[in-house]
Amino acid sequence: MKRIKKFLILILVMGLIIASIPIIYIIISNTQEQENIHIEFLPKRMKSYPNHTAWLLLDIRTKSSDLMSNLSLMINTNASIAMKYEIWETSLLNKVVEVFLYPNTTHLDYEIEIEAIVYSGGISKKEYASIEIVDWTLEIPPEIEAMKDEFVSYLLLNHSNYKINASIIWEGLGRAPQILVVEHYLFKSTYWEMELAKHATMAPYDWVKIYLRPRFSLYPNWSGTINSWSSGNHTVVEVEPPDEIYR
């Protein structure tokens, strides 16, 4: 009798193992498929303020052009906020998505959480970022516009392949909040991001620097500096671009 019970228990265990094999296979297969999709916010955390444009990048890469061609994107937030995004097709395996959020005074002292979900081939993958809304102002002083124009003039004369000229409209997105020693300002045109950094001190240390990022790229591809703005010598010196964006 004991042998029969042991035999029945053994049969039951073997049956459960055999029945679970398809489930295990599906889980492993789905995990492997998920590894073929990469999604990442740049940056994952930032600060913004009322009437400012919070500008994030979303890097999406796949190991299969079929996955990319069938990919769909959904972006959600934990608050009611104006938002839009633009997708740049960089290659068969890569997309750069620019996500813009527009906080107002109702979001002050609130942390906006952003969830990005990509779907393709029956699988999905998620990524998260957050934006802290702080008390700050949007003002871009005329001096900053003059600094920007100096670099635009230099690029017009020395890098005509960038197709940057005086007729391009640059939308000023404001100043990076709560940073005082080095002020950071963002500008956006149809195809370019320009970040302008100003060292808020006196000559000869009051340098100004910009980088340029093609909006279809994750990284800047050009940078230049003026060693001292108040000296009156506004010669632009080309330097190595940073390896990341500033927010």
Do 5 and 78 reside in the same domain of the chain? no
SS3 239: strand
d(CA 101, CA 84): 7
Does residue 59 belong to any structural domain of this protein? Answer: yes
C-alpha distances in Å from residue 104, one per residue of 69, 169, 246:
36, 24, 22
Are 162 and 223 within 8 A, CB to CB?
no
Do 177 and 124 reside in the same domain of the chain? no
Q: What's the confidence (pLDDT) of residue 28?
A: 39
Q: What's the confidence (pLDDT) of residue 68?
A: 93
Q: What's the confidence (pLDDT) of residue 151?
A: 97
Note the pLDDT tens digit of each residue in 180-200.
899 999 999 999 999 999 999
Residues of the chain with pLDDT under 50: 21-32
Do 54 and 122 reside in the same domain of the chain? yes
Q: What's the confidence (pLDDT) of residue 188?
A: 98
Q: What's the confidence (pLDDT) of residue 2?
A: 58
Residue with tokens 């000229």: 165
Q: What's the confidence (pLDDT) of residue 121?
A: 85
Do 123 and 192 reside in the same domain of the chain? no
Do 158 and 224 reside in the same domain of the chain? yes
Max intra-chain CA distance, the chain? 102
| Domain count within the chain | 3
Q: How many CA atoms lie within 13 A of 196 on its CB side?
A: 27
Q: Is the peptide bond before 43 cis (omega within 30 degrees of 0)?
A: yes
Q: What range defines the domain where residue 108 resides? A: 37-133
CATH number at residue 85: 2.60.40.10
